[in-house]
Amino acid sequence: MACYRLTYFNVRGRAELTRLCFAAAGVNFDDVRIPNSEWAAMKSTTRFGMLPILEVDGKKFSQSFAMARYIAREHGLYGKTNLDMLQIDEVVGLAEDLRDYFVKIYHEKDEPKKNALRDKFDNTDLPRFLGYFEKLLTDTDSSYFVGNKLSLADLAVYDVMEYPLDQGQDILKDSPKMKAHRIRVGSHDNLHNYLKERVKTVI
């Protein structure tokens, strides 16, 4: 078994999907969370001036989705065929398209603009994406997005839904497939323990 070390800030952010892959696979890894105050001194030592960084047996790699896909492939979370992988990548890409909307809200400094973005997200963008996810789950013969077992696709959607759900709204009330999917993923034996014990953060 390889030795894994994942370095990121003390937030879910761009590292959480890889953390979820490790957790779902039951694979131990060193979860290094650095304070923001240390980043300026550390930045020049990274490969591309960014985090997260994944070390595999001491060799360092960047790019969060490359990391998540690698761990998913290594540990049975990336389907069985190239077509499975294409479908998984489609769902992961859709989840990231949704993430882009609320990242803009989070980083917007102008309060009126932030409020306008949040209103558009709540009333237009999020319902549209929930419709996409709901249809994908309706069209599958399984309880998962791809195939009949948990995959990177399910973890990506679970992860991206954290932010809107944290806002305290019952956003899944009209999305029964998504609601059941979230319960199913969150109840996964390995994930359940990780989700219960992980550090609580805003993003």
Q: Which residues make Cβ contacts (< 8 Å) with residue 147, sequence separation at least 6?
A: 79, 80, 84
Confidence (pLDDT) at 199: 87
Q: Among candidates 101, 203, 83, 105, which has minimal Cα distance to 153?
A: 83
CB 154 within 8 A of CB 185: yes
Dihedral of CA atoms 44, 49, 52, 55 in degrees, nearest 10, equals: -60
Q: Which residues make Cβ contacts (< 8 Å) with residue 81, sequence separation at least 6?
A: none
CATH topology of domain 4-76+191-197: Glutaredoxin (3.40.30)
Q: How confident is the model at residue 104 (pLDDT cuts 50, 70, 90)?
A: very high
Q: What is the mean pLDDT of residues 65-92?
A: 97
**Above 80 in pLDDT, residue 168?**
no
Q: How confident is the model at residue 67 (pLDDT cuts 50, 70, 90)?
A: very high
CA-CA distance, 159 to 179, in Å (whole number)?
14
Q: Which residues make Cβ contacts (< 8 Å) with residue 133, sequence separation at least 6?
A: 94, 157, 175, 177, 178
CB 88 within 8 A of CB 153: yes
Confidence (pLDDT) at 17: 98
Confidence (pLDDT) at 167: 78
Q: How confident is the model at residue 141 (pLDDT cuts 50, 70, 90)?
A: confident
Give residue-wise pLDDT tens across range 107-133: 999 999 999 999 999 999 999 999 999
Confidence (pLDDT) at 146: 97
Q: What is the mean pLDDT of residues 143-167?
A: 94
Domain 82-188 in CATH 1.10.760.10? The answer is no
Same fold, 4-76+191-197 and 82-188: no
Q: What is the mean pLDDT of residues 58-71?
A: 97
Q: 127 is written with which tokens?
A: 């319902």
This prediction's pTM: 0.95
Q: Who wins on pLDDT, 33 or 106?
A: 33
**Above 90 in pLDDT, residue 63?**
yes
CB 91 within 8 A of CB 156: yes
Q: Which residues make Cβ contacts (< 8 Å) with residue 201, sequence separation at least 6?
A: 10, 11, 12
Q: How does the average pLDDT of the chain come out, rounded?
A: 95
**Above 80 in pLDDT, residue 196?**
yes
Q: How confident is the model at residue 200 (pLDDT cuts 50, 70, 90)?
A: confident
Report the DSSP beta bridge partners of residue 30. 5
Domain segments of the chain as ranges: 4-76+191-197, 82-188
Q: Is 154 exposed, middle or buried (0-12, 13-18, 19+ CB in 10 A)?
A: buried
Share above pLDDT 70 across residues of the chain, in percent, rounded to a whole number: 100
What does the DSSP assignment read for 169-187? Answer: --TTTT-HHHHHHHHHHHT
> What are the CA-CA distances from residue 137 to residues 70, 94, 128, 142 (Å)?
25, 13, 15, 8
Q: How confident is the model at residue 29 (pLDDT cuts 50, 70, 90)?
A: very high
Dihedral of CA atoms 190, 194, 197, 200 in degrees, nearest 10, equals: -150
